[in-house]
Amino acid sequence: MENLIIVGASSLARETLAAVRAGDTYRTLGFVDDNEARWGSSVNALPVLGPIPAVLEYPEARLVICVRNGQSRARLAGRLRMLGVNEEQYARVVHPSVSLPANCRVGHGSILLAGVALTAEVYLGRHVVVMPNVSLMHGSRVQSFTTIGAGSAIGANVRIAEEATLGMNSTVRDRVSVGRRAEVGIGTTVLKDLPSGETWPDTAGRQHSSHGLPRMEEINV
């Protein structure tokens, strides 16, 4: 069993800890968090070890960033990189109930909670958070630092760019692209390409232009 430190004593951290405890891959040492009021306290019977730079005191431990917002995860990953943390030090947290075929790929630092299903040739980048009961169909590619809300359904050959956010119970139609930092609202059905930086809360799933979006073959994990 490898040691693990969770970066951020958040609600996502508690959910991630539950996934870790359901398996037998990691032994969680505790949390780090920059909120001084949390230092020395405990979360789910594990200590908050100190501020984020305290990870340097545990060079053998794996890390996982538990901040729900993808842009914030990206900033934290950049900060940790400046402290000397390399990408291979990040854990992949996959709940034992996840369906993960051998021909799928999950990047370092990604979190897959209970009931997630990847069908075939699905690729997830680094630090992707997939909440419970999400399905991702064959050939879909999800870029780094994306967040997919609980109960969402991602169709076949979908492309989701970096730092996008999909609200719970959202649906993305086959072969649709979601742009960088785009936000899909709770319960929304996306039928056409969603441009980068756009927010789409309309459950009617009105059509969008694909202007400015990268072609599918240009989006790589």
Q: Which residues contact 9 (CB under 8 A, 6 or more apart)?
A: 31, 32, 33, 35, 38, 43, 48
My answer on whether 99 and 189 are in the same domain is: yes
Query: Distance (Å, rounded) from C-alpha 13 to C-alpha 16?
Result: 5
My answer on whether 84 and 133 are in the same domain is: no
My answer on whether 77 and 145 are in the same domain is: no
Q: How many domains does the chain have?
A: 2
Instruction: Please report, for the domain that includes residue 102, its CATH number.
Output: 2.160.10.10
Share of the chain above pLDDT 70, in %: 91
My answer on whether 138 and 120 are in the same domain is: yes
Q: Using one digit for the tens of pLDDT, what is the confidence trace for 32-57?
A: 999 999 998 888 899 999 999 999 99
Q: Using one digit for the tens of pLDDT, what is the confidence trace for 168-220?
A: 999 999 999 999 999 999 999 999 999 999 998 744 444 443 333 433 333 33
Query: 33, 55, 89 — which closes off a domain?
Result: 89
Query: 60, 89, 118 — which closes off a domain?
Result: 89
Q: Using one digit for the tens of pLDDT, what is the confidence trace for 112-137?
A: 999 999 999 999 999 999 999 999 99
Q: Which residues contact 209 (CB under 8 A, 6 or more apart)?
A: 192, 193, 195
Tell me the residue range of the domain where 74 lies.
2-89
Q: Using one digit for the tens of pLDDT, what is the confidence trace for 138-169?
A: 999 999 999 999 999 999 999 999 999 999 99
Query: 65, 89, 113 — which closes off a domain?
Result: 89
- Note if the pTM is more than 0.85: yes
